[in-house]
């Protein structure tokens, strides 16, 4: 076990060979109280470190909420960093700059972490040495009082991809000397190795932004008065090293698990999500770990929103380098305390530059009522299905909506008034759920928008999933082509089977049964990839190859019979059905998952053939995007009749 831990540490941060020293931690009253309550020392220390040493109550709350945390006794320490943070008028100006730049130009990488100057690289410190580390910072700040010029001289620097305020060289050397002495103090008191920041010291204003936004950002940056009165705080932060490269999500709505593999959600909590762990999650769900409990599980994607990594950081010490007053750590997570701001250079390489939906579906200029300029060009539209029942109402919706005799009834207005009859059990809906009423509305809106743009669909192909067939049906209704165009059910368009829970594929309703329920299906269609060829838990390469093969055969089949094909399938289909027909190589599975997660219900993209070359390119869709958000259930009795 010790060898494995040593290997893990070596991968995370370089370590110097040195003789071991006895622990320098002073068992203060807070730790003593926790020990007297019966908590093991390792857990008590972990609780104190994870809450910033705030007080006994905070540590107890953390321990009680993490009682089932499988990593509660994990010896891996947290990771620390020392920043200079501005306060006063300069901080207010920087906050104003980020608010304006974000609203005018959108978010860029500088917004991932609050405004700061990096003084050292991230380093690790055992829980038992954190008190000594905090003392090392206080000791260093005390020695350097009055030796650092105020205000710090800052000069604006701009390039095509970066804007920043750089510290004047002579003063920067003073700050680097301060960081070096902190490193020495930490070595002596806490036995940790710290690398002072050796690059030019600066506050990042903007990074990785669009080139056409440079003029706006530069104008806003020039309005910052760097000479305005400001204090600077030397702040020691920590983060959980296990989640350093995870995406951070914030819980917006409460959720109670309906299955053993699901995670309970509490508003305000944070979720750490790794793209490589998403293979266990079905469409509309993500797999993540709760900051508040340490537990991991599946959760509905529309119950969370993206947050910044620094929102989960913990403050361990905050001291003014100019004034005599110092601030001790608040012990709170940084969320709610720190502002959005620039990212430090030491993290730039660790942040994944994930593909976005804007790269898949470029910004568009939508024709309102004019006919298409090139009607003879062959076009392929790929669309994700509408809002699904199990994501909105949880996986328990079936038990709520069927009586003992198997008769369906709805318990919410967003549930359809009736469902297609299945020859099997209603449990088949577990893996083949319908869309909601709002999902039907979404689909009709897309169809109506296509009608307004004078778009005519010649062929519609759908995944065998009921949610996709229903979506295609309502798109055609909105397009007023539901009686003219028959839907062809193509099993080869089903999503990556690895995302299906269990070892069996869904039991889909046969096209003949759906046609008997007044769904306009082409019952004579012979699939290019029959259900019998689908395998459970297929590899990523198999799924990508299947999607490409089926799309190519569909386009070949329709070549001489119409110019526009619509595929209604899954979020993954927008990438899997369009990338290789453009002559591009498939993405790796990690980047693929990142793209898929960003595609909303009724996400829509368009491809156009270049002449008759057989090579396609993504183009502006003929319709506007459809934006929508979550809306939790409202119970008037519980909310309005509280005493």
Q: In Å, how far are 294, 329, 443, 469, 476 from 516, measured between CA atoms?
A: 50, 68, 22, 14, 18
Token pair 């107890």 is found at 60
Q: 3-class DSSP state for residue 388?
A: strand
Output the pLDDT for position 346: 31
**pLDDT surpassing 70 at residue 144:** yes
Output the pLDDT for position 339: 29
**pLDDT surpassing 60 at residue 528:** yes
Quote the crossing angle between the two packed helices 29-36 and 41-50, to the nearest 10°: 130
Best CA proximity match to 286, nearest among 297, 432, 295, 574: 297
Token duo for residue 181: 């002495």
Q: Which of 265-269, 455-459, 495-499, 560-564 has the lowest mean pLDDT?
A: 560-564
- Active-site position among 384, 444, 474, 488: 384
What is this structure's pTM?
A: 0.53
More confident residue, 350 or 414: 414
For 409-430, write each residue's pLDDT tens digit. Answer: 999 999 999 999 888 888 899 9
DSSP states along 132-200: HHHHHHHHHHHHHTT-S-SSPPEEEEE-SSEEEEEEPHHHHHHHHHHHHHHHHHHHHHH-----B--S-
- Active-site position among 385, 422, 444, 474: 385
Output the pLDDT for position 632: 67
Whether 385 sits among the annotated catalytic residues: the reply is: yes
Token duo for residue 380: 């392929």
Residues 135-148, mean pLDDT to the nearest whole number: 91
Output the pLDDT for position 376: 61
Q: Tell me the average pLDDT of the chain.
A: 84
Whether 378 sits among the annotated catalytic residues: the reply is: no
Output the pLDDT for position 529: 96
For 64-113, write each residue's pLDDT tens digit. Answer: 999 999 999 998 999 999 999 998 888 889 988 988 888 788 878 888 88
For 544-573, write each residue's pLDDT tens digit. Answer: 999 999 999 999 999 888 789 999 999 999
- Active-site position among 116, 546, 570, 579: 570
Q: Which residues are annotated as a binding site for substrate?
A: 467
For 191-249, write each residue's pLDDT tens digit. Answer: 999 999 988 999 999 988 888 889 999 999 999 998 877 789 999 999 999 998 899 99
Whether 570 sits among the annotated catalytic residues: the reply is: yes
């Amino acid at each position: 076990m010790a060898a494995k831990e040593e290997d893990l540490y070596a991968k995370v941060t370089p370590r110097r060979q040195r003789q071991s020293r006895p622990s320098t931690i002073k068992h203060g009253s807070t730790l003593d109280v926790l020990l007297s309550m019966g908590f093991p020392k390792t857990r008590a220390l972990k609780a104190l470190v994870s809450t910033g040493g705030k007080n006994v109550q905070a540590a107890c709350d953390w321990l009680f909420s993490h009682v089932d945390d499988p990593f509660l006794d994990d010896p891996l320490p947290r990771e620390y960093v020392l920043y200079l943070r501005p306060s006063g008028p300069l901080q207010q100006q920087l906050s104003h700059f980020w608010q304006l730049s974000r609203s005018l130009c959108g978010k860029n990488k500088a917004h991932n972490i609050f405004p700061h100057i990096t003084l050292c690289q991230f380093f690790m410190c055992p829980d038992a040495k954190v008190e000594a580390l905090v003392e090392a910072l206080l000791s260093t700040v005390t020695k350097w009082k009055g030796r650092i010029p105020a205000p710090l001289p800052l000069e604006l620097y701009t390039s095509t991809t970066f804007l920043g305020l750089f510290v004047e060289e002579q003063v920067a050397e003073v700050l680097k000397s301060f960081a070096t002495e902190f490193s020495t103090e930490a070595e002596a008191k806490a036995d940790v190795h710290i690398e002072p920041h050796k690059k030019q010291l600066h506050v990042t204003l903007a990074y990785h932004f669009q080139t056409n936004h440079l003029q706006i950002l530069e104008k806003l940056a020039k309005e910052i008065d760097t000479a305005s009165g400001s204090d600077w705080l030397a702040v020691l932060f920590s983060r959980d090293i296990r989640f350093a490269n995870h995406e951070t999500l914030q819980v917006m709505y409460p959720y109670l698990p309906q299955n053993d593999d699901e995670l309970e959600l509490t508003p305000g909590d944070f979720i750490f999500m790794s793209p490589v762990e998403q293979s266990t999650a079905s469409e509309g769900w993500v797999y993540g770990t709760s900051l508040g409990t340490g537990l991991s599980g599946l959760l509905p994607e529309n119950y969370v929103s993206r947050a910044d990594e620094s929102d989960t950081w913990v403050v361990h010490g905050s001291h003014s380098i100019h004034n005599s007053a110092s601030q001790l750590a608040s012990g709170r997570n940084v969320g709610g305390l720190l502002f959005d701001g620039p990212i430090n250079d030491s993290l730039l390489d660790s942040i994944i530059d994930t593909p976005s939906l804007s790269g898949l579906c470029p910004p568009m200029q939508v024709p309102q009522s004019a006919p298409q300029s090139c009607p003879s060009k062959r076009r392929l539209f790929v669309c994700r299905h509408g809002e699904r029942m199990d994501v909105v109402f949880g996986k328990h919706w079936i038990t709520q909506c069927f009586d003992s005799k198997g008769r369906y009834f709805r318990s919410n207005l967003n549930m359809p008034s009736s469902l297609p009859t299945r020859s099997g059990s209603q449990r088949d809906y577990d893996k083949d759920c319908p869309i909601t009423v709002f999902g039907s509305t979404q689909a009709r809106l897309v169809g109506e928008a296509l009608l307004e743009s004078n778009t005519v669909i010649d062929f519609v192909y759908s995944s065998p999933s009921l949610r996709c067939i229903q979506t295609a049906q309502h798109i055609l209704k909105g397009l007023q082509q539901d009686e003219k165009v028959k839907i062809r059910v193509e099993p080869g368009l089903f999503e990556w089977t690895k995302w299906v829970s269990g070892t069996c594929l869904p039991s889909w309703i046969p096209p003949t049964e759906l046609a008997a329920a007044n769904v306009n299906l082409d019952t004579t269609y012979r699939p290019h990839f029959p259900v019998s060829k689908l395998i459970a838990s297929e590899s990523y390469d198999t799924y990508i190859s299947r999607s490409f093969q089926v799309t190519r055969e569909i386009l070949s089949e329709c070549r001489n019979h119409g110019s526009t094909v619509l595929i209604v399938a899954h979020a993954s289909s927008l990438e899997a059905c369009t990338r290789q027909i453009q002559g591009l190589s498939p993405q790796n599975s990690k980047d693929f998952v990142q793209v898929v997660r960003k595609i909303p219900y009724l996400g829509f993209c368009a491809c156009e053939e270049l002449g008759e070359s057989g090579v396609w390119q993504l183009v502006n869709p003929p319709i506007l995007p459809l934006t929508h958000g979550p809306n939790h259930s409202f119970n008037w009795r519980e909310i309005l009749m509280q005493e």
